[in-house]
Amino acid sequence: MIVRLIDIQVKPERIRDFQASSLRNHRGSIQEPGVLRFDVLQSAGDPGHFLLYEAYRDEPATQAHRQTAHYLAWKQEVEPMLAAPRQASAWKVLAPADPSAWKP
């Protein structure tokens, strides 16, 4: 399993637009067979700071996600909303190690 954390800073005047676009991307992403979690988080202290927490079954699932219509639409929609480039990092999952513990 692979977890990707995407750290995003959004222009203050575009926060609502970013939320709407990211929630559409979330709804499409959780339907993908290789996606175990796809959480959209907003900082409690900085409304323009978001974190996407994405858990994938394997690397091919991450690549498949990047080819979906909902992801490509999201990427195009949000680029002009960003106050800085997105920062992404990949993480190896230690626990829970069983993918069935992640998704019903």
Average pLDDT over residues 95-101: 82
The answer to the question of residue 78 being in a domain is yes
Asked if residue 98 belongs to a domain, the reply is no
Is 11 within the bounds of a domain? yes
Instruction: List helix spans (H) across the chain.
Output: 15-29, 59-65, 69-78
Does 41 fall in a domain? yes
What CATH number is given to the structural domain containing 75? Answer: 3.30.70.100
- 19 and 42 in contact (C-beta within 8 Å)? yes
Banded model confidence at residue 103, pLDDT cuts 50, 70, 90: low
Whether the predicted model's global pTM rises above the 0.85 cut: yes
**Assigned domain for 40 exists:** yes
Rounded Cα distance between 1 and 45, Å, is 30
Would the pLDDT of 104 be above 60? no
Number of domains within the chain: 1
Q: Residues of the chain with pLDDT > 90: what percent?
A: 87
Give the domain range for residue 8.
2-89
CB atoms inside a 10 Å sphere around CB 86: 14
CA end-to-end span of the chain: 16
Is 65 inside a domain boundary? yes
Residue 99 lies in a domain: no
pLDDT tens, position by position, 36-56:
999 999 999 999 999 999 999
